Amino acid sequence: MEVRDKLYIGGAWVPPQGTGVLEVVDSTTEEVMGTVPEGNPADVERATAAAADAFPTWSSTSPEERAKLIDRIFESLAQRTDEMAKLIAREVGMPITLSNLVQVGLPVMSFSTMAQIVRDFAFEEQVGSSLVVREAAGVVGAITPWNYPLHQICAKVAPALGAGCTVVLKPSEVAPLNAFLLADILHDVGLPPGVFNLVTGTGPVVGEAMASSPLVDMVSFTGSTRAGKRVMQLAAETVKRVALELGGKSACVILDDADLDAAIPNAVSMCYLNSGQTCSALTRLVAPRSRLAEIEDRVVQEAETYTPGNPFDATTRLGPLVSSAQRERVRGFIAKGIEEGARLLTGGTEPPEGLDKGFFVRPTVFSDVDTSMTIAQQEIFGPVLSILPYEDEDDAVSIANDTIYGLAGAVWSSDGARAERVARRMRTGQVDLNGGSFNPLAPFGGYKQSGIGRELGRFGLEEYLEVKSLQR
């Protein structure tokens, strides 16, 4: 068992002011795998003060100095890929192969690409008689979720450091151990004291203290829309900058001329990735009624290949959910779908056969779902796919846009121009065309209640910069 009993503040591991301890549970065995401190507002106060003290010096360093440190972080992180992947597979439950590629591969890429982005970025430009300067926003409070814990941390920390900001991080208390490994790395590479600080604890205590702190200039939050609204309310008291990456209910639109051999495996995969615990998961499959029976058959066949099991077993395609609470929440949504009249094609509320331990849910598919149903509107965060039939192209677009969210989406058509035309009508931050792959340099973020601002690549760096004009 991994016991972490200190917080990282001001360049040192220090005892917490809070006396509580938070248990971290292995999502497969349901056993306690580690503990971390339950921080309190006094810990946040110490951390934000350290970050504020470090800001003047760190923000005045050259982009090249910051890029060199980011390079060192990337190299150290890459050397610990296996260790990180195994840890996150236990914390979150993602199968180990995917954990290597996604849960650690993306964070490594965040740092590897950010160094060059910082080197190439135009921090100053002449606009008429004015010199326009882009400067670090200040002390950043970063609040991150449990589903892609290290990725979401690095997607904030890498650009914040690159911009010249200092950071106080509150990782999710459900999967926090990976954040301690990252703090070890940042300490070992020689990041100056106070530039990065780590305080673990719960959202209502530590998260709210960070969002309220007068020393925090910006809050970057990833999590539920409900919690994001609370962060905005608290941040408004001091008129902080706020970046939010929130919920999603994304649609995969299969047009009537789509190649189903390619579309269906991809659509199911993009719903079930990380057991459906993905904010950008394509959980609504918008299907032409003229091909509905064929699509249903293919989706069920594909879904039933997602074998639930131990994430360290090579045959496992679907790991457990992260916690008992999440498992019960997802099962509740499945029951609600049945109650409201959706047609259950496979899966259901019963636990997968032979899995008495672990937070497992059967890969589930519904059809005849309409936009009035709960499972068509609320973010389930589990392996549940809803098929919504449509009559024509306009109807498909209307269904795709009929949620409060707008984070991701997909369109499939044998006519690339047609797919793009439909994608342009979707009010969402990213759309994959005919299986287009995820681009870690492209902006990631949403419309409507999916958030404010963008992460990743140059766009992520810009979120952490203020703009000043010097008139001559």
169-196 pLDDT, tens digit per residue, is 999 999 999 999 999 999 999 999 999 9
DSSP character for 444? B
At residue 314, the pLDDT reads 87
145 with 276, same domain: the answer is no
- Enumerate residues 6+ apart whose C-beta is below 8 A from 332: none
Distance CA 438, CA 155 (A): 15
258 with 313, same domain: the answer is yes
Assigned domain for 94 exists: yes
Phi-psi region of 93 (alpha: psi -120 to 50; beta: other; left: phi over 0): left
In the predicted structure, residue 367 carries a pLDDT above the cut 90: yes
192 with 296, same domain: the answer is no
DSSP character for 375? H
Exposure letters 303-339 (e unless 16+ CB within 10 A, then b)? beebebbbbeeeebbbbbbbbeebbeebbebbeebee
In the predicted structure, residue 356 carries a pLDDT above the cut 90: no
Distance CA 282, CA 244 (A): 20
CA quadruple 93, 96, 101, 103: dihedral sign: positive
pTM of the model: 0.96
Distance CA 410, CA 444 (A): 14
Assigned domain for 413 exists: yes
At residue 326, the pLDDT reads 96
Assigned domain for 132 exists: yes
Number of domains making up the chain: 2
- Is 279 catalytic? The answer is yes
SS3 of residue 363 by DSSP: coil
- Enumerate residues 6+ apart whose C-beta is below 8 A from 323: 25, 27, 174, 359
At residue 338, the pLDDT reads 98
Assigned domain for 103 exists: yes
Q: For the residues 18-44, what does the mean pLDDT come to?
A: 96
C-alpha 408 chain-centroid distance: 12
E strand or H helix that includes residue 295:
helix 292-303
179 with 280, same domain: the answer is no
The percent of residues in the chain predicted with pLDDT above 70, rounded, is 100
Assigned domain for 69 exists: yes
Mean per-residue pLDDT over the chain, rounded: 97
Q: For the residues 129-152, what does the mean pLDDT come to?
A: 97
pLDDT confidence tier of residue 32, bands split at 50, 70 and 90? very high
CA proximity to 354, closest of 314, 308, 293, 297: 308
Q: Summarize pLDDT for 387-406 with one digit per residue, the tens.
A: 999 999 999 999 999 999 99
At residue 18, the pLDDT reads 84
In one-letter notation, the amino acid at residue 95 is P
Distance CA 220, CA 453 (A): 9
Distance CA 150, CA 206 (A): 19
237 with 273, same domain: the answer is no
CATH number for the domain spanning 272: value is 3.40.309.10
User: Is the Cβ–Cβ distance between 145 and 91 less than 8 Å?
Assistant: no
- The catalytic position among 38, 208, 245, 463 is 245
E strand or H helix that includes residue 139:
strand 139-143
CA proximity to 27, closest of 329, 281, 316, 327: 327
CATH number for the domain spanning 20: value is 3.40.605.10
- The catalytic position among 38, 165, 279, 463 is 279
Assigned domain for 190 exists: yes
In the predicted structure, residue 343 carries a pLDDT above the cut 90: yes
Distance CA 210, CA 221 (A): 11
Assigned domain for 444 exists: no
Q: Summarize pLDDT for 410-440 with one digit per residue, the tens.
A: 999 999 999 999 999 999 999 999 999 999 9
Pairing status of strand 196-198 against strand 166-170: parallel
342 with 464, same domain: the answer is no
Give the range of the structural domain holding residue 364, as residue numbers without chain letter: 251-439
The tokens for 415 are 């006519």
- Is 45 catalytic? The answer is no
376 with 360, same domain: the answer is yes
Q: Summarize pLDDT for 53-104 with one digit per residue, the tens.
A: 999 999 999 999 999 999 999 999 999 999 999 999 999 999 998 899 999 9
